[in-house]
Structure 1
Amino acid sequence: MHRIDSTTAVAALPVPRAEGTPGYFVNGDPAVGQVATSVTHEWLNSVQEEIAGVIETAGETLDKTNNRQLLAAIQQLISSMDGWSTGDVKITLKAAADAGWVLMNDGSIGNAASGATARANADTQALFTLLWTNVSNGNAALQTSAGGAVARGVSAAADFAANRRLVLPAVLGRSLAIAGAGVGLTARNLGDIAGAETHVLALGELPAHTHSGTTGNESANHTHSGTTGTESQSHTHSVAGTLNGGVGAASGGQVTSSGGAFNTGTPSQPHTHAITTGTESVSHTHAFTTDAGTGGGGAHSNMQPTAFLNVMIKL
């Protein structure tokens, strides 16, 4: 849809003449003297502005190459009666987006010349502007019409007019969470993505634990040398026997006998000897074998019980 742009068009809307008698169009009939209805500039301007007004109220820019803008605008305005507005998101089991919406498929949006992959149409301008304003370039990257990365320009309107395309925030295969900084939680920005589907534990993430095991048998046969102490050195032992067939007697350390039994004295009390060992055997080691380990060191799943649906966003 576009406003009349011929060489005879004027830049300002003319003031209408006084209203005549309301009526209807007729072709005319010369046989009965009926003159055909003439179409006035007031009527044509009225029709043009009624149509253009609907399209512009829906947030679209008139596009001379797009003859379906009125339909799209009506659909969008009907949809907005449900309380939805640009940037609102809803989940669905539909495979295609509703009129006035676009599926969030990690694709891009832009005008008809942008080469956008999710939707390339003038009706994406309002959403383009909202994302350009609220979401960082890292989370909603700006691209050329060929898909190359490009820095954001002076305004969303300028980038849209320059046939740039904006990548929708990534949601495919991801759970949705709320942006912001919850108490005790990490701050998250609009469009941020985080987390991993699987994870391999690092050493510092393992719980503290011990391993049991047994030593090997290296240098099993070895001895220690040593000497006894001097405890209870003075003691006696009884002896039963005969000496030259007589009775024996001890005197001055000598044993004598006149035939018969003899005795060396009363036995000492029970006693012990300390032993001091010498140098241990040569240095040696024992191998230590832990109990059998298990596990393969692979990644484990981080995924919570999840149901997968489509997400669409309001244009």
Structure 2
Amino acid sequence: MSGFWPQSFSQMNDLNGKPIVGAKAFFYEGGTTTPISVFRDYGLLTPHPNPLSTDGFGRFPAVYMDEEDGFYRVRVTTSGGVILYDADQIPIIGPTESGGGSPPAPVDPNAIYKTGDLKVRYGEGFLEGYVRSNGRSIGTATSGATERANSDCQALYEFLWNADPNLVVAGGRGGSAAADWGANKPLELPDFRGKAIVGLDDMGNIAAGILNAATVLGWRGGSETHTLVVDEMPSHNHSATAVPAGGHFHRIPKGGSGGGQGAQNGPTDNTYFDSEPVNDHTHGVTIGARGGGAAHNNVQPSLAITVYIRL
């Protein structure tokens, strides 16, 4: 396939901003001084001269390169041979080949995303080259997988099989990812439904101690609501004061049955007598419960999106 030289159509200028007419670009195999062919067209049919020169405006023309050359070296000089720059081991990145008769994409997607990379998108539904990371399954065309059953899932299938041993394989895990793929066993996808993304607590380093349980890839935790238990409540006191009642007595009707039917404010004639006085004392107090014991919201401000994973 054909790769496009990034300096195509660029203008070379000197320190005063004037175009450098006749500047030369020499193209070599990466790490060598062996010249390679560069071309005028995407089909790699018509070669450029090597070295290639800028025009009267100091611009290089469009340059296409053979992706099979892998890496290249380019040395750019003035018309008099003064080196302007010499860059080596530059990858030739060509377009991807897409199936179904579609034209090649203008950028190799593997130069940006690789199998297993996550992509978030403000949208729903299927996305070419990706599956939704929704806890459904992927597998071969005859596997009965619920998210995608197609041969293009194999790279992701094998990647996830090896990356996370806790992902479920229908019928149980066999000896290898390739064996389970060949046996048409669907593989569970990571499930990001209703979940925020957090970094592993250790991530190849000493554990940070922020999410102590989150040291295993695919760890799942947290909840939408939470009800406090006693041990989670802040330590606190309740203050209560019993109002003291001073010493007093009651007047009881003579010939009556007592039981508090009299009053201190009763008549002063001989039909009443005074009870024994009661010393200073307090009365017991009951503190009533407050609060309903309901669960509280445990979710940070959030915006729901779709999480995709690269095939």
Q: Given the two structures, how large is their TM-score scaled by the length of structure 1? A: 0.51
**1:146-179: CA deviation from partner (whole Å, max 9, x where unpaired):** xxxx321000011011111111111011101112
1:88 maps to 117
Q: Distance in 2 between matches of 1:87 and 1:286?
A: 72
1:311 maps to 307
1:287 maps to 284
Report the Cα offset of residue 299 of structure 1. 0.5
Correspondence 1:130 to 2:159 = yes
Which secondary structure state, in structure 1, belongs to the residue aligned with residue 217 of structure 2? coil
Q: Distance in 2 between matches of 1:305 and 1:141?
A: 31
Q: Distance in 2 between matches of 1:72 and 1:168?
A: 29
Q: Structure 1's 74 and 101: CA in aligned 2 closer, same or farther, altered over 3 A? A: farther
Where is the helix percentage greater, Structure 1 or Structure 2? 1
List runs of 5+ in structure 1 lacking aligned partners: 1-57, 60-68, 144-149, 223-280
- The answer on whether the counterparts of 1:111 and 1:160 sit within 8 Å (CA) in structure 2 is yes
Which secondary structure state, in structure 2, belongs to the residue aligned with residue 296 of structure 1? coil
Of 176, 180, 187, which aligns to 1:159?
180
Larger radius of gyration: 1
Report the Cα offset of residue 82 of structure 1. 4.6
Identity of aligned residues (%): 38
How many pairs are equivalent?
182
Q: Structure 1's 298 and 76: CA in aligned 2 closer, same or farther, altered over 3 A? A: farther
Report the Cα offset of residue 188 of structure 1. 2.2
2:260 maps to none
List runs of 5+ in structure 2 lacking aligned partners: 1-95, 250-277
1:71 maps to 100
Report the Cα offset of residue 79 of structure 1. 5.3
* RMSD over equivalenced CA pairs, Å: 3.4
**1:110-133: CA deviation from partner (whole Å, max 9, x where unpaired):** 111111111111111110100000
2:26 maps to none
Q: Distance in 2 between matches of 1:200 and 1:171?
A: 24
Which secondary structure state, in structure 2, belongs to the residue aligned with residue 91 of structure 1? strand
Moved segments of 4+, more than 4 Å: 72-79
Q: Distance in 2 between matches of 1:102 and 1:203?
A: 44
Of 82, 107, 110, which aligns to 2:136?
107
2:192 maps to 171
Q: Distance in 2 between matches of 1:130 and 1:74?
A: 28
- The answer on whether the counterparts of 2:116 and 2:159 sit within 8 Å (CA) in structure 1 is yes
Q: Distance in 1 between matches of 2:102 and 2:215?
A: 35
1:184 maps to 209
